[in-house]
Amino acid sequence: MTSGQNGDTFVEFERVQKSYDGEVLVVKDLNLSIGKGEFLTMLGPSGSGKTTCLMMLAGFETATHGDIRLGGREINNIPPHKRGIGMVFQNYALFPHMSVNENLAFPLQVRGLSKSETESKVKRALDMVQMGEFGNRRPAQLSGGQQQRIAVARALVFDPELVLMDEPLGALDKQLREQMQYEIKHIHENLGVTVVYVTHDQSEALTMSDRIAVFNDGVIQQLADPETLYERPENSFCAQFIGENNKLGGKIVGIDGDTATVEFDDGATCKALAVNCGGVGERSLLSIRPERVAIGNSDTPDAISARVLELIYLGDHIRCRMDVHGHNEFIVKVPNAAGHARLNVGETVHLTWEREDCRALDLI
């Protein structure tokens, strides 16, 4: 069982599987524990199983096998409306014929709260998302960002212990999406509610999460905090999916402790941290972030030669595309700062990096 961030486990998936046709598993033997008050993001490409997991937790899908527990209680057979879970969807799912106040009051009225208590909770929830002045408007009179704030407020208005968010910011433009990321993050921090968030946007996951579960083909590939996931990916899928990443393919010709020597197809060699790469004679993928590469000189130990193919000016840095021993999509981000020599297309340079930043991984 992959444990929660703290000792107080709140959500548990134990050996959960899901198949829609009785043959193909879209979720394969999922074991996951989420801590109370944690912000956990399920991240992955379309079809990876992340949304199916969220829908099973919400009660809109039924697990084919295994148990799902909330606060220690098995909830497999409990209908969605009795699980006490707040939900936020990408399409907002607001009632168009109701005002904002009425939309927020609805889940409270269903639970039998008094009128005065309902009004108090609605006001608090609207103030929480800075929408207190919009209570009498209809959803159609609001912008997309305002509607999403109302959807978040409605999910929180009845004080749920768990809130599920399914691609909630996908319909917003880039600037507003980034603003909402911080707002949701701050709401989570202030309330201490447990959040399970689904997205395919890796920068969104890095910004908001305590931990990220990277899904592919129905399996969690890696579960870690954002820094660990970015700096120390465990396999080539995570390295490629999280952030920009250079990959260099080659054959392992030697392993000495935790250092692997990899030979490229043209015979040149490179040393890397042996992370998850098989043995001598097997193919491996070297993973290194563009910002971890520096321009050195030919007498620097373990320097790798490269030819400059393309230079793109991006203000604070120059994006350089290079040919590195037959790999012609190798990216280096050169700071646009004093002391950095200007590069020219066609020239040969030498690249250096810390061995720990170059990871020899499997070929997933």
pLDDT in the model for residue 30: 96
The dihedral over CA atoms of 308, 310, 313, 316, expressed in degrees to the nearest 10, equals -40
pTM to 2 decimals? 0.87
Are 252 and 228 members of one domain?
Answer: no
Tally of domains in the chain: 2
pLDDT in the model for residue 210: 97
Partnered with residue 29 across adjacent β-strands are none
Q: Which amino acid is at 244?
A: E
Side-chain half-sphere of 257: how many Cα atoms within 13 Å? 2
pLDDT in the model for residue 296: 78
Are 203 and 282 members of one domain?
Answer: no
Average pLDDT over residues 332-345: 82
Instruction: Show the DSSP H helices in 129-235 as ranges.
Output: 144-156, 174-191, 202-208, 226-231
pLDDT, tens digit, 9 for 90 and up, residues 178-192: 888 998 999 899 889
pLDDT in the model for residue 364: 60
CB atoms within 10 A of CB 133: 10
- From 236, 254, 289, give the residue that closes a domain: 236
Side-chain half-sphere of 99: how many Cα atoms within 13 Å? 12
Closest CA to 332 of 322, 323, 340, 341: 322
Average pLDDT over residues 81-94: 85
- From 236, 264, 283, give the residue that closes a domain: 236
Q: Residue 3 domain-assigned?
A: no
Q: Count Cβ atoms within 10 A of the Cβ of residue 317 and give its class: 0-12 exposed, 13-18 middle, 19 or more buried.
A: middle
Q: Residue 151 domain-assigned?
A: yes
Are 14 and 34 members of one domain?
Answer: yes
Q: Residue 214 domain-assigned?
A: yes
Task: For residue 1, name the pLDDT band (cuts at 50, 70, 90).
Answer: very low
Cα–Cα dist 34/14, whole Å:
12
Mean pLDDT of the chain: 90
Are 267 and 232 members of one domain?
Answer: no
pLDDT in the model for residue 60: 94
Average pLDDT over residues 162-173: 89
Please determine, for residue 126, whether its predicted confidence score (pLDDT) is greater than 50.
yes
Please determine, for residue 215, whether its predicted confidence score (pLDDT) is greater than 80.
yes
Closest CA to 288 of 249, 334, 255: 249
Domain CATH number, residue 341: 2.40.50.140
Cα–Cα dist 100/137, whole Å:
6
Are 221 and 145 members of one domain?
Answer: yes
Average pLDDT over residues 301-310: 89
Domain CATH number, residue 44: 3.40.50.300
Cα–Cα dist 126/135, whole Å:
8
Q: Residue 1 domain-assigned?
A: no
Are 227 and 301 members of one domain?
Answer: no
pLDDT, tens digit, 9 for 90 and up, residues 55-68: 999 999 999 999 99
- Residue linked to tokens 């990321």: 181
pLDDT, tens digit, 9 for 90 and up, residues 247-297: 999 999 999 888 999 999 888 888 999 988 878 888 988 999 999 999 877
Cα–Cα dist 336/355, whole Å:
25
Are 46 and 187 members of one domain?
Answer: yes
Are 208 and 258 members of one domain?
Answer: no
Task: For residue 163, name the pLDDT band (cuts at 50, 70, 90).
Answer: very high
Are 215 and 285 members of one domain?
Answer: no
- From 171, 203, 236, give the residue that closes a domain: 236
Q: Residue 268 domain-assigned?
A: yes
Q: Residue 144 domain-assigned?
A: yes
Please determine, for residue 340, whether its predicted confidence score (pLDDT) is greater than 70.
no
Q: Which amino acid is at 279?
A: G
pLDDT in the model for residue 69: 96
CB atoms within 10 A of CB 223: 19
Q: Residue 2 domain-assigned?
A: no
Cα–Cα dist 228/205, whole Å:
13
pLDDT in the model for residue 236: 87
Q: Residue 327 domain-assigned?
A: yes
Are 206 and 265 members of one domain?
Answer: no
Q: Quote the domain boundaries for residue 283.
A: 245-361
Three state DSSP letters for 73-86:
EECCCCCHHHCCEE
DSSP state of 18: E
Are 173 and 259 members of one domain?
Answer: no
The dihedral over CA atoms of 138, 141, 146, 151, expressed in degrees to the nearest 10, equals 30
Are 21 and 74 members of one domain?
Answer: yes
